[in-house]
Amino acid sequence: MNRNTEKRNGILVTSIDKVLVEHSLFKKGYSVGITLDAGNDGRNESKVDGKKVGRRYTESVDMSDSVFRNDTFEKTTKFHIAGVQAKGFKISGNTFAGMTDNAASGSNSLHFEQFTKNVKIYNNTFDMSDSVSKAYPYISFAGTEGHKRVSQKLASDTFKSWTYFYEGSNERRADTSYASSGDTNKSCKRDVHAYGPQDIYIAGNTFSSSSIISKYLLVHEGENIQIGMKKNSTVNLNAFKGGNNATKKISFGGHDEGKCNVNIVAGQGIIDSNVSIAKVDFELPACKIAKPIAIGT
């Protein structure tokens, strides 16, 4: 599922009919099993000084409560399921076998990027072979590319000759390097939750022990991340197997104001020392001050 507004003469798709993928087998060696991609989406709207001038779309596609359930994903060379600018879907009851031995860097079982919202990840089993050549995370939420969407003035690798508007504005935005440097120039900063993942529910999953796993869960930015609780507030604990009290199983990184309103329900074998939280020290205070990251004991 790949949105391309340029090929639709500027008709922007913001929702689709519900999709159901169930009882399917994804055989070993594929790159991405299921893709929900509305991210690399731009439109050439005019020319200025002979150069294409367009915009990158920040709108997500509403998946209308699409469901991917009871599927078997054998080993992948990149991702089992990946999504960019997609919202409103559930991943449940699946078995994910992890990476092939030669998978590329940056691979992980579930990978989601900017403007991802309302995602339910319930009752899945995640495995990772000890024979893989690199350490990979099971689940990764990375909104950094979205930071570029709302702060970019230089052309990207995707559309090298384009400059960009933000939601129709003709104002140039910050250099892409600010996405990683966290520059304190206020004109370069944007609210993290304009692009980071929101309303993510991870409950009832089994994360198998592996000597090679990097993180069980990696979240770079976002708000309302519920770990061990469903959207309806029902507690459904995850099993984070393996490791010890010194193992960093969950990592919260990110830019701008960081992450907030995160709840790790007690009883999942996760204590403070299993969680790493990146320092956020820009011109705005970390949002976790007002909306804490809570680790149940």
- pLDDT digit string (tens) for 264-293? 999 999 999 999 988 765 445 677 778 889
What pLDDT is stored for residue 259 in this prediction?
A: 74
What pLDDT is stored for residue 8 in this prediction?
A: 86
- pLDDT digit string (tens) for 209-229? 998 889 999 998 788 999 999
DSSP character for 15?
Answer: B
User: Is 119 in contact with 93 (CB distance < 8 Å)?
Assistant: no
Sign of CA dihedral 208, 211, 214, 215: positive
Q: Please tell me the pTM assigned to this model.
A: 0.84
Query: For each of the chain's 297 residues, which pLDDT tens digit applies?
Result: 888 888 888 888 999 999 999 999 999 999 999 999 887 777 666 666 665 555 667 788 999 999 999 999 999 999 999 999 899 999 999 999 999 998 988 899 999 988 889 999 999 999 999 888 889 999 999 876 555 544 444 444 444 444 444 444 433 333 333 333 333 333 333 444 456 788 999 999 999 999 888 999 999 878 899 999 999 999 999 999 999 999 999 998 766 566 788 999 999 999 999 999 887 654 456 777 788 899 997
What pLDDT is stored for residue 50 in this prediction?
A: 63
What pLDDT is stored for residue 89 in this prediction?
A: 98
Give the residue among 123, 55, 64 at the shortest CA–CA distance from 94. 123
Q: Tokens 């770990």 label which residue?
A: 227
Domain extent listing, the chain: 6-295
What pLDDT is stored for residue 44 in this prediction?
A: 65
Give the residue among 132, 27, 140 at the shortest CA–CA distance from 75. 27
DSSP character for 247?
Answer: -
What pLDDT is stored for residue 191 in this prediction?
A: 41
- CA dist 290 and 209 (Å) reads 35
